Structure 1
Amino acid sequence: MMKSGCESTGEFDNLLLSTVRQGDVNLLEHHLSTVSNPALYLNRLYDERNSQKCTVLMIACLNDHRDVMRMLLQRYKPDLEVLNNITFGDFTPSRQIFFNISVLWAATSINNFDMVKLLVEHGANVNHRTRTGSTPLRGACYNGNVSMARYLIDNGANIHLNKENNDTNLMVSVCHKHRHMVTYLVDELNCDVNECDANGRSSLYDAVVCASIELVEFLLKRGAHNFRAIVDQMSPLMWAAEKKRPDLVDIISPYSSVLERIEAQELLGSAFACTNRDNDDLNQSFNCFSRALDLRTTHNLSKAMTTTTHTIFHNRYECQTIDQLENIRTNTELMHIEGLLVRERLLGPTNGEYRYSLCYRGAILADIGQYHEAVTYWIYELGLCQQYSISIDSKHLRRFASLFSRMLYKTKSIPTEAIIIVIKAICSELERDKQNFNDNLFTLLFLITITSQYLIECAISIAEKELLFHILRSIVQHHYTQIDSGMSLLHLSVDIRTRVNDYHIKHICKYPCLQTTRMLLKCGAIANAFDILQNTPLHVIASKFVHCGRAPDNICSFDQKIHTITRVSTAKILKLE
């Protein structure tokens, strides 16, 4: 027997872990026979790579060493309910870590039926729940293993234990298109096809989203209803239309009301009009709109008319008759607008799909050189986000900088009002969204650079210039700095490491940038502000010149204000060198 003083040594732990990873049953059994209390090691969590915490039994399970597991279970009877933290496959930063996992849950998730039976025979809890409420039965449903699911239920697994947010076993089976599992759950276990998760999404909703004709037909025949989800107010029929699936629309329509069928045709037509540049799709869009108008006429169901219009839609209203629709059939622009008007009515201004179609339309216009029209669409969508307190994607804000750069480079013209609106939006996001703070700060820097060149190169009124200077001064007064480095906008404007990855922004924004630096200083930026490493903006750029073998005195041309601290920063550089 190993002496007790050695039992907790790291050497023995490493020996044990190495042996179980190799799957050497005899050697592992030998090592365990040398200690007085094997359970001390078998029930301990070991730190594995990628932040995993696993027992010896879990390591054997994940490495598919069934003989090792059988030996451990039969001879040493380890605790099967120790909570592990694991990940599957090669680890990447985005790969999910699963917390509070039992070995049985892991065995079902990797779809190893032999291990599952072995663990259940030795008393594993078939209703174990992970941190998110997932069960071993869910693992069987995820993999579509009907035999495993039946075995677990025969041994006491509760089919009604759902994951967090009431995500059911039927839903996960539908999402992965496991027809045989869905049939088993519904026809043999009488699972409710209309049960919804916390967001109001049903199994039929999931079947449409994953585009399974077979499962949509099956669920409808088993009594699934076409109701709207809470999270997006979209029904399965609406999603079928939004995904441009006329086949699914035709399957669900007989189970829907007349108005639902009409609106499905309208939404289908709008999806064809607004999410593709192909003229064939515009023809399909016309046909869908025509069918909807025919149904409205037949059933005397007129459209709900809006009382206001918007200039981005050319102040148009939706077509109310076939004749009105025929008049715009060959006008691509008006057909796109018709589609957007339909989407605004059916989806609503807060719907993500509708707002995406506005951005998409703007992108198409930008690609054909209609930059001002493109800006108008994007500003309209940005206004909806602000009006309804919808979070704004930092990538979307960056696209404004890209579009403005393209406009400045190609046409020397940007709407001043648009620049101001976007800058204000970014400042609001800097206060609200700390997770994307640095990304938004770089976007703000790019916009300041664009504005600096805009003021020099473009003919604008004195009033517009004063307004832009006022906005820039208010930005500088906030003293924004990067979360991790503490670098200010002035630091970033003189730093050669300030990278620009967007093709169009690169045409305008290159750092160090003299114009941006002068603009920031003119608006009150603190020339001798320190970052987290106690570097001033001058030191940031001077250090780059020193490392390149150039005299730091050359940078005095950046501005007289920076020149006044040349000696201090140069002395600091020389000390570092």
Structure 2
Amino acid sequence: MVASCRGHDDIVQYLLSLDDSGNHLLNEVNNEGSTALHEAAGSGKLNIVKLLLEKHHAKIVKDNDRYTPLTIAGINNQKTLVNYFIKNKTQCWYTISEIIDELELIGSYHMINCYRSDIETAYHYLLWAMRLRYKDPKVPILKNNLPFPIEANGYCTECQTIAELISIRNNPNRMIIECLMIRERVGVTSNFLYLLDHQADLCGYNLYSFDLRGSEECQLVIRLWLHAYHLRIQTQINLNKCVSYLEKCARIMGELINRKRTKEIQFDILMKVLEATENEYLRNKNLESTLDVERENENFSCSSSEADETVGNNGDKCLYVILNLLFNAMKVSEKIFRNFFRG
């Protein structure tokens, strides 16, 4: 894989000459699920990609983040490789539907990656995908099985036409939501959840510039954190991060109260965060009981373990969040009643 990444075709050719009939070396994957083809595509080594595909017929597979070599080429701005995979007139490596999915995935990455949002590049790939959907206007390739609109995404739905996509081109927040919806539709992975975490931080909450954040941004970030919490519960991916989402939600509400912006807290969202925190507390308590039973059954000599400590700390954090949320709820209720009697 190192030779593929660095473009050493003579070394790659020699190593492949040693491969068995099952092509295990050719299609071998590393811990990230990447193959030599992924590595060559990501580093822009067209000579190696041609060698692996055209001469040795390497398999195109998805890595742990569900990226194929085309995706990797696109997110690394390897335009020559992207055109090779898509516009090759002698070989078809992907179907039209697969190319559309790949282009949307690439575009989404450029909008919500953790380094720098590139709205122009993101729009370029999303528009390319949309034009392919309508290449035959009489039989367009529509997006199927779209999820119901949810609060976390502002009840938006994915763009279904070129006109809809053009209408959001210059709206960064709406483009971010569009790309988050695409990524979630493609599949929730640990990488997607990491990007969702990052976008929640960028979109709405920065402790050092809180005064500059508006009500809409504050509500958006709370909804995103709450959505990320539920996605982790559903997928069982790195559940230790769940409590931190709820802590952040409570913290942002507390800051709004401290800055006399209580009216900006939506009571229904506060109650949803409180409900999620209660569920998280009960989950940790049940997990703690399970660990106690396992420890007794295995006759552990030590009184606690790292897992016990983590679960216990999470339970304590949940209680702290619940108390903070109850305090916040009291403040919001006071504001509501005061306004009611004034009216």
Does the TM-score normalized on the shorter chain lie above 0.5? yes
CA separation in 2, counterparts of 1:426 and 1:456? 18
> CA 1:246/1:432 → structure 2, altered by over 3 Å: closer, same or farther?
farther
Q: Shift in Å at residue 240 of structure 1?
A: 3.4
- 1:421 Cα deviation (Å)? 0.6
Describe the superposition over 1:204-263 as per-residue Cα deviations: whole angstroms up to 9, x where unpaired: 134446x35354444234334453337554322233345565454334333333333222
Instruction: Return the match for 1:391 from 227, 232, 237.
Output: 237
Amino acid at match of 1:375: I
Deviation at 1:297, TM superposition (A): 1.8
Query: What is the alpha-carbon distance in structure 2 between the residues aligned to residue 327 and residue 354 of structure 1?
Result: 25
CA distance in 2, matches of 1:208, 1:430: 47
Q: Kindly provide the CA deviation profile for residues 388-411 of structure 1, in whole angstroms up to 9, marking residues without a partner as x.
A: 3x2334245335324522431343
Give the equivalent residue in structure 1 for 2:313: 442
Of 229, 236, 241, 1:382 maps to 229
Alignment CA distance shift 1:332-1:230 (3 Å) = closer
Q: Does 1:292 align with 2:132?
A: no
Letter in 1 for 2:123: F
Once the two structures are superposed, residues 92-117 of structure 1 have per-residue CA deviations (whole angstroms, 9 ceiling, x without a partner) of xxxxxxxxxxxxxxxxxxxxxxxxxx
> Residue 333 and residue 455 in structure 1: after superposition, are their counterparts in 2 closer, same or farther (change >3 A)?
same
In the TM superposition, residue 179 of structure 1 has moved relative to its aligned partner by 5.2
Aligned length, in residue pairs:
286
Q: Which has the larger radius of gyration?
A: 1
Contact 1:244 1:271 in 2 (8 A): no
Distance 1:241 1:378, change over 3 A: farther
Q: 1:409 to 1:294 in 2, by over 3 A?
A: closer
Deviation at 1:277, TM superposition (A): 8.1
CA distance in 2, matches of 1:410, 1:183: 62
Question: What is the one-letter code of the residue matched to 1:317?
Answer: T
Which of the residues 148, 171, 185 maps onto 2:15?
A: 185
| 2:182 aligned with 1:310 | no
**SS of the residue 1:256 aligns to:** coil
RMSD between aligned alpha carbons?
3.5
**Is the CA contact (8 Å cut-off) linking 2:284 and 2:312 kept in structure 1?**
no
Residue identity (%): 20
Q: CA deviation at 1:276?
A: 5.5
CA distance in 2, matches of 1:252, 1:287: 17
Aligned residue identity for 1:379: L
CA–CA distance in structure 2, aligned partners of residues 400 and 273 of structure 1: 26
Mark the runs of 5 or more structure 1 residues left unpaired by the alignment: 1-170, 463-577
Question: 1:404 maps to what in 2?
Answer: 250
Letter in 2 for 1:271: Y
Work out the CA distance in 2 between the residues paired with 1:440 and 1:202: 37
User: How far apart, in 1, do the equivalents of 2:319 and 2:332 lie?
Assistant: 17
Take 1:339 and 1:324, find their aligned partners in 2: how far apart are those partners? 14
Alpha-carbon distance in structure 2 between the residues aligned to 1:321 and 1:455: 45
Q: Output one character per residue of 1:480-506: Cα deviation in whole Å (capped at 9) or x when no partner.
A: xxxxxxxxxxxxxxxxxxxxxxxxxxx
- Whether 1:213 aligns to 2:213 is no
Change (3 A) 1:313 1:410: closer
Q: In the superposition, relative to structure 1, how do residues 324 and 452 fare at CA in structure 2: closer, same or farther (>3 Å)?
A: closer
Distance 1:400 1:216, change over 3 A: farther
Contact 1:196 1:202 in 2 (8 A): yes
One of 331, 337, 341 as aligned partner of 1:459: 331
Residues 359/220 of structure 1: CA separation in 2 closer, same or farther (3 Å cut):
same
- Give the corresponding residue for 1:19: none
1:319 matched to 2:159 = yes
SS at 1:298 equivalent? coil
Distance in 1 (alpha carbons) for counterparts of 2:71 and 2:285: 36
Query: Matched residues in 2 for 1:273 and 1:230: separation?
Result: 21
The 8 Å contact of residues 71 and 105 in structure 2, kept in 1 or not, is answered as: yes
Change (3 A) 1:354 1:395: closer
Equivalent residues in 2 for 1:183-262 (5 A)?
183-186=13-16, 188-190=17-19, 192=23, 194-197=26-29, 201-208=34-41, 211=43, 213=45, 215-225=48-58, 227-229=60-62, 231-242=64-75, 245-253=78-86, 254=88, 255-262=93-100
Superposed CA offset, 1:455-485 (max 9, x none)? 44642559xxxxxxxxxxxxxxxxxxxxxxx
Structure 1 runs of 4+ off > 6 angstroms?
A: 175-178
SS in 2 for 1:444: helix
Give 3-state SS (helix, strand or coil) of 2:134's partner.
helix
After superposition, the Cα gap between the structure-2 partners of 1:452 and 1:309, relative to the gap in structure 1 and judged at 3 Å, is: closer
Structure 1 residues 405 and 178: CA distance shift in structure 2, 3 A: farther
Cα distance, 1:357 vs structure 2: 2.9
Residues 371 and 244 of structure 1, relative CA distance in 2, 3 Å threshold: farther
Query: 1:60-209 alignment to 2 at 5 Å?
Result: 171=1, 174=4, 180-186=10-16, 188-190=17-19, 192=23, 194-197=26-29, 201-208=34-41
Rounded to whole Å, the distance in 1 between the matches of 2:281 and 2:149 is 28
Residues 423, 444 of structure 1: 8 Å contact kept? no
What letter matches 1:407 in structure 2?
M
- Aligned partner of 2:280 among 425, 443, 455: 425
Question: What's the offset of the Cα at 1:283?
Answer: 1.4
The equivalent residue for 1:416 is 271
Asked whether the equivalents of residues 204 and 224 of structure 1 are also in contact (C-alpha less than 8 Å), the reply is no
More RCO (CA 8 Å, sep 6+): 2
Please report how far the alpha carbon of residue 286 of structure 1 lies from its aligned counterpart in structure 2 after TM superposition.
1.3
Report deviation, 1:324: 1.4
- TM-score scaled by structure 2? 0.68
Q: Aligned partners of 2:2 and 2:13: how far apart in 1?
A: 13
For 1:363-416, what per-residue CA distance to the aligned partner results, in whole angstroms no more than 9, with x for missing partners? 12223643332121122122122223x233424533532452243134356713
Shift in CA distance, 174/407, structure 1 to aligned 2, threshold 3 Å = farther
| C-alpha displacement of 1:422 | 3.1
Asked if the contact 2:233–2:239 (Cα under 8 Å) also holds between the matched residues in 1, the reply is: no
String of CA shifts for 1:125-177, please: whole Å, max 9, x gaps: xxxxxxxxxxxxxxxxxxxxxxxxxxxxxxxxxxxxxxxxxxxxxx5755787
Corresponding residue of 1:573: none
**How far is 1:310 from its partner?**
1.4
Q: Distance in 2 between matches of 1:410 and 1:179?
A: 59
Separation in structure 2 between the aligned mates of residue 274 and residue 198 of structure 1, nearest angstrom: 26
Q: For 2:244, give the aligned amino acid.
A: R
Select the residue among 109, 119, 123 that pairs with 1:271.
109
**Structure 2 stretches of 5 or more lacking a match?**
292-305, 335-343
- 8 Å contact kept, 1:385–1:391: yes
